[in-house]
Amino acid sequence: MIASLPMYDRPANAAAHDRLWAGIRNRLRDAGVKAPEALDREVLYRDSWSRDDLVLGQICVLPWQQWFKGKLTLIGASDYGVEGCPPGFFNAVMVARADDPRDAKTLVKGRFAANARHSQSGYGAAMNFATRMGLVLPDPVITGAHDASVAMVAQGKADFSFIDAHTFWMQQRDLPAAQACRIVHRTRPVPGQSFVTKLGNDADLYFAAINDAIAGLDQADRDTLGLRGIIRLAPEAYDIAIAPGVAFPG
């Protein structure tokens, strides 16, 4: 069995995530569902989506729509109260160095750092932004993580990056490189990081367990995670525009 909450799990909030999982786990067990004692932080997040023993995971809207719809049970979208987004949605922020005065249209002529080509916030949102603006983004340097992308921008090794807005909120609290960066632009909202389980599991049962566990967090953990709730979104909300060039690693 495996459970992971990888999308926003960081050293600074790992203990709060552990307590969130404990609340979910205990409620699942009370309902007769077998659940692992602890979160798995060893299995790569994208590998967990294909596991037939997946108890709980999180997935981004782009890989859900493009590769995993119909292969996992969608439970609900996480709500982090992201600026400019309705409940259960998130967006990406285009970031540049704080001392770089260029606007978005000028920055896109420079060096682009992206965490992954299967990331909605890091790549899909950037490509869709460029398409709407009639711009062409340079081929990105793939960094493997939003933290690495922000570090490249802060160090002057890249001119801009697109970062999950909630991730950037966390980075500004615990990553010095983020404090050297500014937000240049916010992209359009799309469904937030969503909770999933293996195909065939009872989505309503899981939704109730997650909802109750979030409500049971103390204020300190709420403030640390920024997590406000879990939201049921209409299935069609996940039908986002797929940007050219997205790719899932083989």
For the entire predicted model, the pTM comes to 0.94
Q: What is the pLDDT of residue 217?
A: 98
pLDDT in tens, 36-70: 999 999 999 889 999 999 999 999 999 999 999 99
Q: What are phi and psi of 206, to 5 degrees?
A: -65, -40
For range 164-179, the mean pLDDT: 97
Please report which confidence band the pLDDT of residue 250 belongs to, taking 50, 70 and 90 as the band edges.
low
Give every CB contact of residue 3 below 8 A, 6+ residues apart in sequence.
Answer: 21, 24, 25, 35, 36, 39, 40, 54, 55, 56, 57
% of the chain exceeding 90 in pLDDT? 91
Q: How does DSSP classify residue 69?
A: B
Residue 67's beta-bridge partner residues?
none
Which amino acid is present at 48? S
pLDDT above 80: residue 248: no
Write the CA distances from 189 to 26, 118, 164, integer angstroms.
Answer: 33, 17, 11
Q: What are phi and psi of 195, to 5 degrees?
A: -80, 135
